Amino acid sequence: MPNTPDDLARLLAGADHAICLTGAGMSTESGIPDFRGKDGVWQKVNPMEVANMQTFLTDPRRFWEFHRPRIDMLSGVEPNPAHVAIAEMQRRGVLKTLVTQNIDRLHSKAGASDVVEVHGSLSRGQCLQCRTMITLEELVVKADSADDGVPRCNDCDFPLKSGVVMFGENLPVAEITAAYDAAERADAILVVGSSLQVAPVSELPAVVQGRGGKLAILTEGDTPYDATADVRLRGKAGVQLTETVTALDALLN
């Protein structure tokens, strides 16, 4: 029988150091499609092709054709009740570090703290040749004023990339280290909206379980950890997490 938000609240309230891992399913209720859900981005384009370092290096125009409208879409979205609930859990001290695979900045917009963005962030642009960093606003102005839609570095004229990690690109070492450090300290992990198929972050639940910690999963779709999860919730993250906060308040007060 599926678990309830009450079960999740009890698991979290009973932990000394619970952390959270979120994925694209966290933001679908804000209007951002996920990758592998039924309305996911992969149904329409192949991210392995357009969100790929090889495409960026060999055909930056094709890369930017896909990314420029995506920046507008991602800049116009707002946090949903699931983001608010996670921030509330942190405020109550029930959740500590929040590791996210999302690049949409919605956790921070909702007031979350200690957010580790393991797949980068939309908030900046960078030159991979001379390492110059620029703001998202500068990146957009450059893309829109270029004849071919490709923003270029002021210093070396190399095509600029957003701070989002692409397929074929290394993950940021500091963030991955911070995520694993958090898992090494945790006695519980709550996973929301991730199919747990993208390594190395998909291994964080195993790190926590390996230390005897608890695992809670809330996604509509299946994950490889479903059989060993202590709490397994299905359904919409917004409703389930809002009810979990209500249940936590009843337990904690």
Binding residues for ligand NAD, rule: CB under 6 A, are 23-25, 27-29, 32, 34-37, 40-41, 101-104, 119, 193-195, 197-198, 219-221, 236-237
Q: How many CA atoms lie within 13 A of 249 on its CB side?
A: 8
Least separation, in Å, of the C-beta of 20 and ligand NAD? 13
Residue with smaller CB distance to ligand NAD, 146 or 171: 171
Q: From the centroid of its chain, how far is CA 152?
A: 27
> What three-state secondary structure class fits 165?
coil
Residue type at 140 in one-letter notation: V
Tokens 């957009």 correspond to what residue?
140
Least separation, in Å, of the C-beta of 239 and ligand NAD? 9
Residue with smaller CB distance to ligand NAD, 177 or 197: 197
When CB distances to ligand NAD are compared, the closest residue is: 25
Q: How far is CA 239 from CA 24, 58, 89, 235, in A?
A: 16, 44, 14, 8
Residue with smaller CB distance to ligand NAD, 3 or 219: 219
Residue with smaller CB distance to ligand NAD, 88 or 175: 175
Q: Where are the alpha helices (DSSP H) in the chain?
A: 5-13, 47-50, 53-58, 60-75, 81-91, 106-109, 136-145, 173-185, 204-210, 237-252
Is residue 119 part of the annotated active site? The answer reads: yes
Least separation, in Å, of the C-beta of 220 and ligand NAD? 4
Q: Which of 67, 83, 107, 119 is catalytic?
A: 119
Q: How far is CA 164 from CA 51, 98, 186, in A?
A: 9, 18, 27
Least separation, in Å, of the C-beta of 91 and ligand NAD? 21
Name the residues annotated as catalytic: 119
